[in-house]
Amino acid sequence: MCGRFVSASPPDQIARYFDAVPDGERTLEPSYNVAPSNDVYAVLSDGGVRKLETLHWGLVPFWAKDPSVGNRMINARAETLADKPAYRRAFRKRRCIIPADGFYEWQKIPGQKHKQPMFMHRADGEPMAFAGLWEVWRPKERPEEELHSCTIITGLPNEKVAPVHDRMPVILPATTWDQWLSPEVDDVDLLGSFLVPAPSSLIDLYPVSTEVNSVRNKGASLMERVDPEAASP
């Protein structure tokens, strides 16, 4: 899964990297520990133009009675997108890219109860392009108050991530961005072919402090490499 990630790059920098237009209405504070239910940046396609917008992390299907259902939909499994009612419409028409500077996973330590948090990022220092879906939800009583939300798609891990966790975010290469973002593309077989593990050579990872375990901690020090023994509680 992907339950925490880093989003600390300025929006204008993210927009330039993804050749997108920032909406200019809202700027998020840098966070080195983005958690479910936080707002996040996402790249969408609007009339063929890429736009950088802010979405609620935790997808709320259009048919949901209550937005709290999004708390259980921070991740969507790549293998079942075309079939699950919560995701199949968005998979065909509402796809997005969620930019990230890296993400965290927790590795089991043999013989110990606690897990070691690991930070994973691109070895070349460039942003990650998480494959995502987005939706629009409107409360029946106030349909004019739209909630735009998203989920991160996860798939099988590559060889480098597998010892840490059995899932990882799908990271899209730039060659797929146009088709992935286009609402005109609805070939689920083609789209599904993009949802494969990123090459192991793309990823670097190392242990970080257990301070990241608390969602209240958001600072840059969470990304610093530590001695695993020193990171133990």
Residues involved in catalysis: 2, 105
| Exposure letters 135-168 (e unless 16+ CB within 10 A, then b) | bebeeeeeeeeeebbbbbbbbebbebbeebbebb
Cβ atoms 107, 116 nearer than 8 A: yes
SS3 129: strand
Query: Which residue, 13, 194, 15, 220, is CA-closest to 119?
Result: 220
Strand pairing of 115-122 and 39-46?
unpaired
Give the CA radius of gyration of the chain. Answer: 17
E strands of 13-91, at which residues?
Answer: 21-22, 31-34, 39-46, 49-57, 75-77
